A and B are shown apart, each in its own frame.
Chain A
């Protein structure tokens, strides 16, 4: 007999799970519907099928510019977050040092700061120091935000790796960089990729902090929020957002699945 769930409980929970999933995906499906709706305002009743929003999005230079800007910001900040994350994770897992608790609290604390507070703190900081707001300022903010996520992905994976492997490599004469490059890195690579993807998608979709430190080039979420100000922009934006959502869903899901498969095969030993 199952110690956790009776058969009835299992049935009920399965239905509950199913309903929750429907609840979670229904609004997304509704957006999908409206991206084909032949009307400027997303309200029922539907006005007929059209592909023109997708066409308009493809030919809207400002929208494309915003997507590009977001891609650049996300690429830069995710690389930065992963770099810092790897450094911090190795320190946390493989080194002993005083103040380790404090350090791990510090690197994880961006998770618990309300983004409105962090956003304005950066705004005020850049204003006080005299740094003009730009893509760079958004990248800086996003690195801070994404760093905890990368650490949360990398630390568990690093812990799984047998430290004896590194010691064996050192015994064989490998320097620290070589050990890292040839022993550790291949083993944590799936986690690194995962961390990078999480950082990328976090940055790409991030609105709150970006809204305070954005310069003259709007990111996609900022463009999106601003598009709510003018009716004719909205349907195109829905179209592109549907595309972005589907792409990011596919990418992240397959990456996560891929990571698990690769890690299972890699185990804790290379080769």
Chain B
């Protein structure tokens, strides 16, 4: 429709020229048709750039190219979160992002926090293309709180030329034979995968006795660990320089090490890898609802999915996205999204006693 396109272009030019705030009744020539008028009102009301709270590395424009096509010149403004707790802290401190990306285990907490509102699926056409079980994982109390995007695993990366695992198991992270060559992820979920190794039924909700056992195991095997990594670069550069042979890692790390010509394998433990799904959530009272939905829609596109899979090695929830490399597909199970569900893997989920897990993990680090 030419009318609305014209107004769109006029509005983005105004945005670029940074005129007096829209809504001040500035010299916008009234659109001739009612539709153009409605569209103009909508866009006029939604002024300013889209505010996104996301993880470092996801601000890359190829990941939301359709959004930039639709709203040229309106690049979203990114603030970075280091983890979900940090995101919550920023929200409590007054940050008002339109879109945030927590991971699936935090969706219930975030939904209850009062900082978010559910999405309107009708405004996200690409939602139909997304993997149904992942979409379901983003639902809470009957509403669509999270739109699934990137997915992948937490598993074990190791050097095939240096390491011979006794079994495909989380136990490789405890292996005394490779003392000083192992890296764990610095997160309280260590208690979870320790719990899987110990064979507990519900590692996300362990009893006090089970937690003590998991904690003791971690404390006793800490001596084999060379680093607790919280930054991928740290872990990757240590791996690349030969300081590490075994690491708790994400698929992108396997991709990066292969690119460095190292002989590595990404091992899925028999007790089940941990899997995760990144969920886009919508800020409560977001003044840019239309833009936010468009952003989520752009992220959900095949274009984005393919780029993500090819470049970061993470899966994408869009069932039609196909990466180009066969190695990538087989190593990272990119064509089998069901691989992230039970019994193959354990989707990261809410931990009812997260505060206790946190304290016990801090004690492991301090001991």
Chain A: residues with CB nearer than 8 A to chain B? 41-44, 62, 127, 132-133, 215-216, 218, 226-234
Chain-A contact segment, one of B155-163, B215-223, B230-238, B340-348: B230-238
Binary interface encoding of chain B residues 80-116 relative to chain A, with 1 for a CB under 8 A from any of its CBs, else 0: 1010000000100111000000000000000000000
Q: Are B231 and A228 in contact (CB under 8 A)?
A: yes
Known contacts A41-B233, A230-B57; 20 additional CB pairs below 8 A are: A41-B236, A41-B237, A41-B240, A41-B241, A42-B237, A62-B59, A62-B78, A132-B94, A215-B93, A218-B80, A228-B233, A228-B234, A229-B57, A229-B82, A229-B232, A230-B56, A231-B232, A231-B233, A233-B56, A234-B233
A234 cross-chain contacts in B, Cβ below 8 A: 233, 237
> Is residue B141 within 8 Å, beta carbon to beta carbon, of the partner chain?
no
User: Which residues of B are found within 8 Å of A231, using beta-carbon distances?
Assistant: 232-233, 236-237, 256
Which one of B79, B80, B93, B237 lies within 8 Å of A43 (CB-CB)? B237
Minimal Cβ-Cβ distance residue in A for B58: A230
- Cβ of A230 and Cβ of B232 under 8 Å apart? yes
Question: Is B260 at the interface (CB under 8 A from chain A)?
Answer: yes
B positions within 8 Å CB-CB of A: 56-57, 59, 78-80, 82, 90, 93-95, 230-234, 236-237, 240-241, 256, 260
- Residues of B with C-beta under 8 A to A233: 56, 233
Q: How far is the CB of B75 from chain A (nearest CB, A)?
A: 9
Closest to A215 in B: B93
Contact B56 A226 (CB under 8 A): yes
Q: How far is the CA of A226 from the CA of B54 in the complex (A)?
A: 13
A229 touches B240 (CB 8 A): no
Highest count of chain B CB atoms <10 Å: which of A44, A218, A230: A230
Can you identify 7 A-B contacts, CB atoms within 8 angstroms?
A132-B93, A132-B94, A226-B82, A227-B56, A228-B231, A229-B230, A231-B233
Give Cα A227 to B82, complex, Å: 11
Cα distance A20–B237 in the bound complex, in angstroms = 28
Q: Bound complex: CA of A230 vs CA of B260, how far in Å?
A: 16
Query: Could you tell me the distance in whole angstroms from the C-beta of B88 to the nearest C-beta in chain A?
Result: 13
- Ranked 4 nearest A-B pairs via Cβ: A43-B241, A229-B231, A132-B94, A228-B231
**Residue contact A226 to B80, C-beta cutoff 8 Å:** yes
Q: How far is the CA of A244 from the CA of B150 in the complex (A)?
A: 36
